[in-house]
Amino acid sequence: MAIRINGAEVEAPEDARVSLLDLLRERVHLTGTKVGCNQGACGACTVLVDGERVLSCLTLAAQVDGRSVTTIEGLAEAEALHPLQAAFIDHDGFQCGYCTPGQICAAAAMLAEVAAGAPSYVTADLTAERVPLTREEIRERMSGNLCRCGAHNGIVDAILQVAAERAA
């Protein structure tokens, strides 16, 4: 088997201890995915596995053998920015940019979770078919992704913009 990374097949490492984060950065040289805490606390290493967000520092490469991984490099289509990337620029959703790839991957998966009707800790009506995407919902759902520059307000605005565009 192989791991599909941004559409390209990559052999899973023989060493079963290699994390997905190390595979991406050190072996495939996709350095868009960032190393922050390397222990599951900051979200900087967030990538998508079969469309769902995972912390690549806590995921073994062997666990995603046969699955499809999307990193920030694979999110955009051709030369066009992903709508979340454009919205982060529009709303100053970053300063240093270090947390941004993880924020954007998490936001992409988060919007899919909301679209699928998955409630969060702060969802008032757990039986509602459509979860209203309030600022509080976004903050809760993005709480695993820390931004040391304090760009959280811009990040929330960017996500709201993309959600509104999709609803239009």
Residues in the site for ligand FES, rule: CB under 6 A? 35-38, 40-45, 55, 57, 94-100, 147-149, 151
Minimum Å gap between C-beta 61 and ligand FES is 14
Minimum Å gap between C-beta 151 and ligand FES is 5
Minimum Å gap between C-beta 94 and ligand FES is 4
The whole-angstrom separation of Cα 35 and Cα 13 is 19
Considering the complex, state which of residue 55 and residue 159 has its C-beta at the smaller distance from ligand FES.
Answer: 55
Distance of CA 105 to the CA centre of its chain: 2
Considering the complex, state which of residue 95 and residue 120 has its C-beta at the smaller distance from ligand FES.
Answer: 95
Is the distance from CB of 89 to CB of 99 less than 8 angstroms?
A: no
In DSSP terms, which residues pair with 5 in a beta bridge?
Answer: 8, 69
Q: Distance of CA 80 to CAs 17, 32, 111, Å?
A: 36, 17, 20
Considering the complex, state which of residue 29 and residue 126 has its C-beta at the smaller distance from ligand FES.
Answer: 29
